[in-house]
Structure 1
Amino acid sequence: MKILVCNVGSTSLKFKLYDMPACTVLSQGKAERVGSLDDAIFQYENLQTGSLLNEEKTAIPDYRAGIRRYLDCLTDPQTGVLSSVSQIERVGYKTTLSKNHFGDHELTDEVIEGMCAWLPLATLHNTGYLQAIGVMREALPDAIFLGCFETGFHRDIPLERRLYGVPYEWYERYGVQRLGYHSASHGYIADVLGKISGGSYRAISCHLGGSSSVCAIQDGKSVDTSFGMSLQSGLIHAARVGDMDCDLYEFLRHEGLSDAQIHEGFEKKGGLLGISGVSSDLRYIEAAAKDGNERARLAIEVFVSGIVHYIGSFYMDLGGLDYLVFTAGIGENSDFLRRRVCEKLGVLGVVLDNAKNEACHGTLLELTGQDSKVRVFAIPTNEELGIARRTYDYVRP
């Protein structure tokens, strides 16, 4: 069965075409800076032949153009791996959230309506997915479309850890509660640890990237997470503010900022970018900090402090810790960030092997130091593979 996995960002598209159940990736592609008429990037790779197409300074004015470009490459005589796109039987998406729908759901009209209903909680993310799903439906009218919602892995979190201190009727009527995200990533880590441990375990997974979260996992299930109901919560992110006093919005309006200015500050100019003033990319922030930039150093320390705060809290929830995992772009590649976090966790018996840590960039590697009471790992997440498997396993009711 041919399954296409599509990951939609606010200005990006990522694709992987799988042959299931063998889990073989036939091709992959991505479009960056979607919306640009002259500065977009498109890449396509046929993994059967190794041929690579790389276009820069190109035009990808919208999601329709990016999706059409990838589908055309799939059937092109020079680059293709399919004779017709109709061979794609299912499409899986790492969808964000839908009212009253958690886990994996076929993208019916009802589920789409749920995505629209909770649009204010993830405006950029859901808007992109809704557009991409509409385009793909036109191109693949006979395919089954599955949404693997980012809230699904966290449904096992006990209610006492999900409820806010708001009127209970808001939970009943509006669904106000901590939902959690990054299910595809944390769920994948849980599966890997299940194989490593061979039994029961207590773990904390740190998904650190453009969007970041920490998750407490016990025996393969999420028991707590740093995200709240919206994506504007938890740790500071690349450009989003993370946890924040709810009255700050009204305070800033009182100080003369417009709604648009406040939203921009919270969603596009906050987080690592807002504090450092350098970049939303931690690599540039680390370089600036080494050169003596005080705001860059401060941004890193705020980020580290938040991670450590949640790890300490979840350590208590779990009653101890067997595994500490770093994953996603920053978690997998920044030996500096991993070291800073682990240094602060010495009180919990965490000891890092510095040589292994410095040598680890994007590979699965145990980083546990001598006499450490907790096993430390860097594990590259494979969200697309998890979605491909779930899409393949899906059975219509």
Structure 2
Amino acid sequence: MKALVINSGSSSLKFQLLDMDNESVLASGLVERIGDAEGNIKCTFHPDTEKESVVKKTLPIPTHTVAGQMVVDLLTDKEHGVLADKSEVGVIGHRVVHGGENFSKTTLLNDAAIAALEDTVPLAPLHNTANLDGIRIAQELFPGVPQVGVFDTAFHQTLPPHAFRYAIPKDLYEKDRIRRYGFHGTSHKYVVGECAKLCGIDVDKINAITVHLGNGGSITAVENGKSVDTSMGFTPLQGLVMGTRSGDIDPSVHAFLARNHQMSCDEIDNMLNKESGLKGLCGLNDMRDIHAAIEKGDKDAELALAVQTYRTKKYIGAYMAVLGRVDAIVFTAGIGENDDIVREMSLAGLENFGIILDTKINAQRVKTPTLLSTPESKVQIWCIPTNEELAIAREAVALVSK
């Protein structure tokens, strides 16, 4: 079966086509700047193989519907395409950012499910509106093909009430659904499953701390294969220090800024989401640029790295307490997979907890799952590349194959 994975953003459309017989990627691409005067589309066919070829185009892409048709045209193109006809696609998996409390698992997107998904739009108006657009367009372009929703929040629906409830008036939870939801769930679920295989532990018995560090970042405590706590909350703003997001902050800062700087709620929200985090601390939000600045003696960049890794370490320690027994700590995503300095600083001083990093192995650049701990370490430390598209495709195929 061939599975098409779609991630529809407000001005972008990311896609990947996989042959699920061997889980190979047939094509992968991105349409961006949809609605601008000039848009871009890039598609890589047979990536990371001898047959790899790339098509790039710059042209007006007025709507997501046009973008979707362009993707179909590329995939079925006689010169580069990997489909003789679009009817070869057997299932379409959609990444959906927010499932609220309506969706605790991968779901077939029929009319009832789409109506329930529309009910979650107030929780993530920008992302879920775009996700719904992608679903509707895929229904038009691929009539009769099963559409499946895989939700970033679903893995965290196993959080117990004492972990997901905020200590605010009860009505705000019951009427407005204000609670911790968590995000990056597809990534956390994927790497904990891979880690269980590597450790030789059944996935429903493994206790792990999964550390997803990219421009956005989150940490999850996994007990017996299920998420029991996670750092992101009602929105992806809570938790770790991220590229442009502040992470945890005293809620009274909002009132202070409103009173003393006459900032509106929207202005404060924009600042905390887009002008804070690493960028707020040192003016840079790419960790590679931060390391380069540190080498030149930039003290703000040095502080930004220290703040980010300190916050990560605090969450690891907290989740050690939550779980009691930890079989493994897993680093993943762009920074987690590629930044040995961040990994080392995030684990420094945790040796008394049985967490001992092999610094020589850690310093190597790896593209495959790699054990980073010493033989003496009581907790295994892993770097496992995430693969959310494959995870979505697997779940979509598993659902329609039942």
Deviation at 1:193, TM superposition (A): 2.0
| Aligned equivalent of 2:360, options 355, 367, 377 | 355
Deviation at 1:57, TM superposition (A): 5.2
1:1-397 alignment, distance < 5 Å: 1-38=1-38, 40=40, 42-46=42-46, 50-55=51-56, 58-99=59-100, 100-199=102-201, 200-254=205-259, 255-278=261-284, 280-395=285-400
Cα separation, 2, equivalents of 1:289 and 1:124: 35
Q: Does structure 2 conserve the Cα–Cα contact (< 8 Å) formed by 1:13 and 1:30? A: yes
Deviation at 1:78, TM superposition (A): 0.4
Cα separation, 1, equivalents of 2:80 and 2:230: 42
Cα pair distance change 1:204/1:282, threshold 3 Å: same
3-state SS of paired residue (2:348): helix
> Which residue identity does 1:55 align to in structure 2?
K
Q: Does structure 1 conserve the Cα–Cα contact (< 8 Å) formed by 2:96 and 2:150? A: yes
Cα separation, 2, equivalents of 1:114 and 1:296: 44
CA RMSD of aligned residues (A): 2.3
Cα separation, 2, equivalents of 1:332 and 1:296: 21
Q: Does structure 1 conserve the Cα–Cα contact (< 8 Å) formed by 2:108 and 2:147? A: yes
Cα separation, 2, equivalents of 1:45 and 1:284: 30
Cα separation, 2, equivalents of 1:218 and 1:263: 33
Cα separation, 2, equivalents of 1:5 and 1:287: 36
Question: In terms of mean alpha carbon deviation, does 37-46 or 296-305 score higher?
Answer: 37-46
Cα separation, 2, equivalents of 1:257 and 1:170: 24
Deviation at 1:60, TM superposition (A): 4.0
Cα separation, 2, equivalents of 1:39 and 1:82: 24
> Which residue identity does 1:14 align to in structure 2?
K
Cα pair distance change 1:340/1:59, threshold 3 Å: farther
Cα separation, 2, equivalents of 1:68 and 1:300: 43
Cα separation, 1, equivalents of 2:219 and 2:337: 14
Cα separation, 1, equivalents of 2:399 and 2:365: 36
Cα separation, 1, equivalents of 2:250 and 2:115: 30
Cα pair distance change 1:369/1:396, threshold 3 Å: closer
Count of aligned residue pairs for this structure pair: 396
Cα pair distance change 1:296/1:113, threshold 3 Å: farther
TM, length-normalised to structure 2: 0.90
Cα separation, 2, equivalents of 1:60 and 1:182: 29
3-state SS of paired residue (1:174): coil
Cα separation, 1, equivalents of 2:120 and 2:46: 37
Deviation at 1:138, TM superposition (A): 1.8
Per-residue CA deviation, residues 368-392 of structure 1 (Å, 9 max, x unaligned), is 1353222111000111111111101
Cα separation, 2, equivalents of 1:362 and 1:341: 20
Q: Does structure 2 conserve the Cα–Cα contact (< 8 Å) formed by 1:327 and 1:380? A: yes
> Which residue identity does 1:190 align to in structure 2?
V
Deviation at 1:71, TM superposition (A): 1.4
Cα separation, 1, equivalents of 2:195 and 2:176: 35
Cα pair distance change 1:65/1:248, threshold 3 Å: farther
Unaligned runs of 5+ in 1: none
Cα separation, 2, equivalents of 1:34 and 1:282: 28
TM, length-normalised to structure 1: 0.91
Unaligned runs of 5+ in 2: none
3-state SS of paired residue (2:247): coil
3-state SS of paired residue (2:37): strand
> Which residue identity does 2:357 align to in structure 1?
L
Cα separation, 2, equivalents of 1:356 and 1:90: 40
> Which residue identity does 1:285 align to in structure 2?
I
Cα separation, 2, equivalents of 1:22 and 1:261: 48
Q: Does structure 2 conserve the Cα–Cα contact (< 8 Å) formed by 1:122 and 1:231? A: no
